[in-house]
Amino acid sequence: MNALEKADAAERAMMEELDRVVVKSVIYTSGERDPREPIPRPPDLGKRYLMGHDPRLPRMPDKPTLFDFFKLRFGPTQHLMQSARLAQKNGVNEKIVLACLLHDIAAAGFIRGDHGYWTAQLVEPYVDEEVSFAIRYHQALRFFADESVGYAYPASYIRLFGPDYKPDAYIERDYRYARDHQWYMSARLICINDLYSFDPNVRVELEEFTDVVGRHFRQPEDGLGFDVSPSAHMWRAMNWPTKYL
Ligand SMILES: [Fe+2]
Ligand SMILES: [Fe+2]
């Protein structure tokens, strides 16, 4: 058995222990396996298919808040909290502090590629337009220096992507669009406060931002995922990532 087959076998064994059949979305495994092939599924054994909460995950409250997603569904979020704290220390306005706190949540809990666009879409119904604009365009602006505000091309990108890396044409196009926009500096401020090296001795608590979130994030009464907003289904997908249909 090769490594992938072993991993599959271990996963199948675990799935067989669950009382429901769990089938992963194609996007989770595309590349690891050929997306055109049928998705492997455990033997039926007369079980029903998972249509809600995945028992392997911590259960979310019925009306989940932003902080519930931070605590129960996102990967490590110190980067986001440290960025928000830095923004606060640099004296930016509260809306931008919120933008810094949220700027990478798609990478933390949803889909990495194009994370600025996904994150903006997730939060758009609940924040001021300027906040979602800043989040959407921070992704493109990250790749382009602006010496006038002391923002250099990140050294870590040279390490991660190589010295010859050129952003895709759509990223460059969106950078140009943002550069001429009235909210350019809002998006740029996310880049300026986007910390790459974390101080492991600094621990920022989410509760530090309770007031900022309370004032600038319009939490839906029915909970994220259960309101009628255009991104509700995306929050539900994070809450129930293995729901069959
Ligand atoms: Fe980012
Ligand atoms: Fe970031």
Which DSSP string do the residues of 171-225 spell out, in sequence order?
Answer: HHHHHHHHHTSTTHHHHHHHHHT--SS--TT----GGGGHHHHHHHS---TT-TT
pLDDT of residue 16 exceeding 70, the answer is no
Report the predicted TM-score, pTM, of the whole model to 2 decimal places: 0.92
CA angle 99, 83, 98 (to 5 degrees): 25
Question: Which of 2-6, 66-70, 234-238 is the least confident region?
Answer: 2-6
242 C-alpha vs ligand 1 centroid, how far in Å?
26
pLDDT of residue 160 exceeding 70, the answer is yes
Non-local (6+) Cβ contacts of 101 within 8 A are 80, 81, 83, 84, 209, 212, 213
79 C-alpha vs ligand 2 centroid, how far in Å?
7
Q: Which ligand is nearest to the CA of 116?
A: 1
Q: Which ligand is nearest to the CA of 138?
A: 1
The two tokens of residue 134 are: 């800043």
Mean pLDDT of all residues in the chain?
93
Q: What is the dihedral of CA 161, 163, 168, 169, to 10 degrees?
A: 170
pLDDT (tens digit, 9 = 90+) per residue, 49-75? 999 999 999 999 999 999 999 999 999
Q: Which ligand is nearest to the CA of 119?
A: 1
Q: What would the DSSP string read from start to end of 86-138?
A: HHHHTT--HHHHHHHHHTTHHHHHS--TTHHHHHHHHHGGGS-HHHHHHHHHH
121 C-alpha vs ligand 2 centroid, how far in Å?
16
211 C-alpha vs ligand 2 centroid, how far in Å?
22
**Which residues, listed in sequence order, are joined to residue 151 by a DSSP beta bridge?**
146
27 C-alpha vs ligand 2 centroid, how far in Å?
23
